Structure 1
Amino acid sequence: MEQRVMEGAEPFRFEGNDVGVLVSHGFTGTTQSVRPLGEALADEGFTVAGPRLAGHGTSMEDHARSTARDWIRSIQEDLDWLSGRTSGVFFAGLSMGGMFSLYFGATRPDLIRGIIPINACVFLNNPDLARLVFDPEAPPRVPGVGSDIKAEGVEELVYPEVPVPPLESFMAAMRTTDDLLQAITAPVLVIQSREDHVVPPENGPYILDRLGSRDKELLRLDNSYHVATLDNDKDLIAERTVRFIREHAG
């Protein structure tokens, strides 16, 4: 049965020039968290796609049935759409979306011209969450991690709880991506909030150090928490992402 998509969680596509950009949201999140970045990139003339990852933006029951293979398939569909319209694709992503930007940067070097992971995760340092992964007595859901935003009055459209079944797939994808970092050769702009209550901020320097890329840079955000694409530094993120793409699209 077709799942109803939450208002604001719809995927987006903007046709523009021959430079493609994929913008991905994170685990339990929706396209609402990255739509402002996608629109800012479209305003600069780029061709932009923001996929709704399988199981996201519908229901927690739907999310509980989804896996990393499904999320990868969602991204691949939009990469195919972009590659058919552009001469090269850049990949920006928030949290798990940032993790997938690194994953695809390693596995699709033929297509991905540059990578912009934003508060990406390749480790969580969260034993309580890790204990749930193979626990047969684990609850079906645990408290959510959404709306970690410093700016007043800004809310993320996100599930209120985390379904436990997809955690195994999510953890496996993180560890896989960690092992792939050294295989990445594309330019990378790592964007990391100094204060993040969902993903340890140490991910940023760790990712930077492990990358195989020669052209790599770490941008630290001083005024945003985890959902930085909706937070006080959202304009800075858009500005630096546009500059990075222009510098490497030629």
Structure 2
Amino acid sequence: MPVLPGAEPYRHEGGEIGVLLCHGFTGSPQSLRPWAEYLAKHGLTVSLPLLPGHGTRWEDMQITGWQDWYAEVDRELRALRDRCAQVFVFGLSMGGALALRLAAKHGEAVNGLVVVNPGNKVHGVAARALPVARHFVRSVKGIVSDIAKEDSEEVGYDRIPLHAAHSLRNFFQLVDGDLPQVTQPLLLLHSPQDHVVPPADSARVLSRVSSTDVTEILLEQSYHVATLDHDADRIFDESYAFIGRLAPRAGEEGTATRG
């Protein structure tokens, strides 16, 4: 099945500091592509994979689950660690949850985290109905393009496959249990006006991680897909400054080889 235009994975070979970016549920690398290109322009080695079942048609997600999505970013992290001295993991929405689990499971192999509107729970009556409803209803209305900025659009699915949504619910529960194992420096940016993931999810993450180096930033001008919204430049600048503080050699010229 052909990949939707703009949804292709993105990679850039830069210096010895690497960044793995994880996109969201039913979304695609397109939502993080400007962020990835900004980091690449600053000399970093960047990996932005396309998660299994994403970027083609929503029906392709029906046969995938959190194990498939997590395995993809886990592979990418290991590949970056093989050729970079330090690796940071960034994520949007479900991608934030993927980043947090990578940090919990890989420990010192992840040098820092930046998460934007991270998901922590599937909310509402629909969540409780998922275990049964998914056997009778294939999909419901999608959640893409929650963006305040006019003329900015997210490439993703207009339907949510309920089998995949049920798997996401289980994944969020798993990640919530992992949060105390997250000890890395953390930059968390979230939008007070988010019509997909409520601010309570960010508060929950902040209350449960064991990180002592934590920065919280509010994105007042953006909705859920803040990386394509009015606050995008702020996200990019703050995340690069975060890396620069923890990895002073970030952006130096040179081939990405493990130091």
Superposition TM-score tier, normalisation by shorter sequence: over 0.9
1:172-222 deviation line (CA, Å, top 9, x unaligned): 110111111111110000111111000011212221121101111111100
Whole-angstrom CA distance in 2 between matches of 1:92 and 1:235: 15
The residue that corresponds to 1:33 in the other structure is 31
Whole-angstrom CA distance in 2 between matches of 1:135 and 1:6: 28
Whole-angstrom CA distance in 2 between matches of 1:130 and 1:199: 17
Whole-angstrom CA distance in 2 between matches of 1:130 and 1:105: 28
Identity of aligned residues (%): 38
Structure 1, 26-35 or 202-211: larger mean CA deviation: 202-211
Matched residue type, 1:19: I
Matched residue type, 2:12: F
Structure 1, 109-118 or 29-38: larger mean CA deviation: 109-118
Structure 2 counterpart of 1:246, from 244, 249, 252: 244
What is the root-mean-square deviation in Å for CA atoms of aligned residues? Answer: 1.2
CA 136–206 in structure 1, closer or farther in 2 if over 3 Å, else same: closer
Task: Output the TM-score relative to the length of structure 1.
Answer: 0.96
Matched residue type, 1:216: V
The residue that corresponds to 2:47 in the other structure is 49
SS at match of 1:117: strand
Whole-angstrom CA distance in 2 between matches of 1:182 and 1:103: 11
SS at match of 2:171: helix
Whole-angstrom CA distance in 1 between matches of 2:217 and 2:69: 27
Q: Is the 8 A contact 1:182 1:212 kept in 2?
A: yes
SS at match of 1:139: coil
SS at match of 1:115: strand
Q: Which runs of 5+ in 1 are unaligned?
A: none
Q: Equivalent residues in 2 for 1:105-184 (5 A)?
A: 105-135=103-133, 137-184=135-182
Whole-angstrom CA distance in 1 between matches of 2:240 and 2:157: 30
Q: Is the 8 A contact 2:122 2:169 kept in 1?
A: no
Structure 2 counterpart of 1:8, from 6, 20, 41: 6
Q: CA deviation at 1:20?
A: 0.5
Q: CA deviation at 1:138?
A: 3.3
1:71-125 deviation line (CA, Å, top 9, x unaligned): 0121122212211210121010100001111111101113110011110011232
The residue that corresponds to 2:203 in the other structure is 205
Q: Equivalent residues in 2 for 1:51-66 (5 A)?
A: 51-66=49-64
Q: Which runs of 5+ in 2 are unaligned?
A: 249-259
Q: CA deviation at 1:59?
A: 1.6
Whole-angstrom CA distance in 1 between matches of 2:56 and 2:128: 25
Whole-angstrom CA distance in 1 between matches of 2:128 and 2:43: 42
Whole-angstrom CA distance in 2 between matches of 1:147 and 1:180: 29
Q: Is the 8 A contact 1:102 1:184 kept in 2?
A: yes
Whole-angstrom CA distance in 2 between matches of 1:136 and 1:73: 23
Aligned residues: 248
Q: Is the 8 A contact 1:92 1:116 kept in 2?
A: yes
SS at match of 2:199: coil
Q: CA deviation at 1:136?
A: 5.8
SS at match of 1:133: helix
SS at match of 1:110: helix
Q: CA deviation at 1:130?
A: 3.2
CA 234–52 in structure 1, closer or farther in 2 if over 3 Å, else same: same
Whole-angstrom CA distance in 1 between matches of 2:135 and 2:89: 38
Q: Is the 8 A contact 1:193 1:220 kept in 2?
A: yes
